[in-house]
């Protein structure tokens, strides 16, 4: 990957000098970029054209470098721990301006007016059928 942010850009944004975190940053870049693409619904090309995503990517990488505990719940008796699988909201807030909302629309969208017209038409048709049945019954008798 490396289309949203490069290792050099990440180190510059986070003001990291030296090569201590080079391997870690190199491993985290594709993971963070994949997360950004899924979160924003952008394509790789459109995401790479957004310079603001570099800062968000660097912040997500920095969050992982800081070794967060991700513990959301902890029980002492019979020891139980729950871990969060998501980034904190203060980090994802930087991605929200780039997020594309994908909505699904039913192929046939009926408005209330159409339902009302349909109900009136069906009621009219039912009345005609009943009148015809009554006429047929009366003629037969």
Per-residue pLDDT of the chain (141 residues; tens, 9 = 90+): 568 999 999 999 999 999 989 999 999 999 899 999 988 888 888 888 888 899 999 999 998 888 766 555 556 666 655 555 577 788 888 888 888 776 655 555 555 555 555 566 667 677 777 777 676 666 665
Considering the domain architecture, whether residues 112 and 133 belong to the same structural domain is answered as yes
Instruction: Say how many domains are in the chain.
Output: 2
34 and 14 part of one domain:
yes
Pair (63, 117) in one structural domain:
no
What is the rounded distance in angstroms from the CA atom of residue 19 to the CA atom of residue 78?
42
Judgement on whether residues 141 and 89 belong to the same structural domain of the protein? no
Residues 67 and 133 in one domain: no
Q: Are 5 and 58 in contact (CB under 8 A)?
A: yes
Parent domain of 129 = 104-141
In a domain, 53, yes or no: yes
Report pLDDT for 58: 93
Asked whether residue 2 is assigned to any structural domain, the reply reads: no
């Amino acid at each position: 990957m490396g289309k949203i942010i490069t290792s050099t850009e990440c180190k510059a944004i986070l003001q990291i000098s030296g090569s201590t975190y080079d391997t870690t940053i190199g491993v985290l870049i594709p993971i963070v970029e994949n997360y950004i693409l899924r979160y924003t619904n952008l394509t790789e090309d459109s995401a790479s054209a957004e310079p603001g995503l570099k800062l968000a990517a660097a912040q997500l990488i920095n969050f992982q470098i800081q070794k967060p505990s991700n513990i959301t719940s902890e029980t002492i008796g019979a020891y139980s721990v729950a871990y969060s699988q998501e980034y904190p909201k203060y980090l994802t807030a930087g991605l929200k301006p780039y997020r594309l909302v994908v909505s699904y629309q039913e192929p046939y969208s009926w408005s209330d007016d159409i339902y009302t017209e349909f109900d009136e038409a069906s009621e009219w048709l039912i009345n005609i059928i009943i009148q015809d049945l009554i006429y047929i019954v009366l003629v037969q008798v």
